[in-house]
Amino acid sequence: MESPRLILASQSPRRRSLLQQAGFQFVAEPAHVDEETYPSESLPSDVALLLAKRKAEALAPKYPKDVILAADTVVAFGDSILGKPKDAADARRMLKLLAGTTHIVITGVAVVLANTKFERVKRVMSSVRMRFLTPHEIDRYVEGGDWEGKAGGYGIQDHDPFVKRIHGCHTNIVGLPMTTTKVLLAAAGIYPKV
C-alpha cells in the first residue's frame, strides 16, 4: 500500500520553511477559505481551531488518501482578534494597539486523512511582550511591507519585530508550532525524511 503524501493547506512561506527545516516532504496547496467568517461571539482560541479545521476539510475531498495539514494563526488582544491587516493603515492601527503590551498568539493546527476519517486538532498559545514603539518606528516598519500576510501586522522573525519577551513556543509565533505539529503528523503516519 502506498504511503500517504503530506499536503500543506497553506501558501505561507513561513509554514513551508518550518516544515522543510524539520525534514518533511510535502506538497503545498492553499485552501481558499474565508478567514473573516466565523460566529461573532467566538473566542480567539476557538477561531484559530475553527479556521484550521475548515482549511483541512476544504482540501480533504481533493486528496482523500493523503494527510492534510492546515493551520491558522490569530493574535488575541484581550478577547479581540487581530487577523492579517487589510492594508497599511490597518497594520499601523494594530501595531499602535500592541505596542508596549502583552498579547497572545494562538495557532490552531488540524491534521486530516479523509479516507480513514482521521482528524486531530490542537491549539497552541504563546504570549508576546512588545516594547513601546514611536510613530516613526511604526511608519518605517509598515513602509517596509513586512506586515503583509501576518496576523497582528508583524512577524517575530522580521529584522526588528519589536518583541521584548516571549513565553511559549517560538515557532507558534512564526505560524506553525512544530512540536505539536510533529506529534499530530506522527499520529497520522507522517514523519520527517531526515
Catalytic residue numbers read 72
Q: What is this structure's pTM?
A: 0.89
> What is the residue extent of each domain of the chain?
6-187
d(CA 189, CA 85): 36
CA 53 from chain center: how many Å? 12
| pLDDT number for residue 1 | 55
Fold of the domain spanning 6-187: Maf protein (3.90.950)
| pLDDT number for residue 160 | 67
If pLDDT is split at 50, 70 and 90, which confidence band does 2 have? Answer: low
pLDDT (tens digit, 9 = 90+) per residue, 42-90? 888 899 999 999 999 999 999 999 999 999 998 999 888 888 899 999 9
d(CA 131, CA 133): 6
d(CA 19, CA 43): 28
Burial label for 95, CB within 10 Å (0-12, 13-18, 19+), is buried
Backbone angles phi, psi at 76, to 5 degrees: -110, 125
- Angle formed by the axes of helices 135-144 and 88-98, nearest 10°: 140
pLDDT (tens digit, 9 = 90+) per residue, 94-123? 999 999 999 999 999 999 999 999 999 999
Contact yes or no for 119/188 (Cβ under 8 A): no
User: Which residues does residue 7 pair with via DSSP β-bridges, in sequence order?
Assistant: 27, 68
Mean pLDDT of the chain: 92
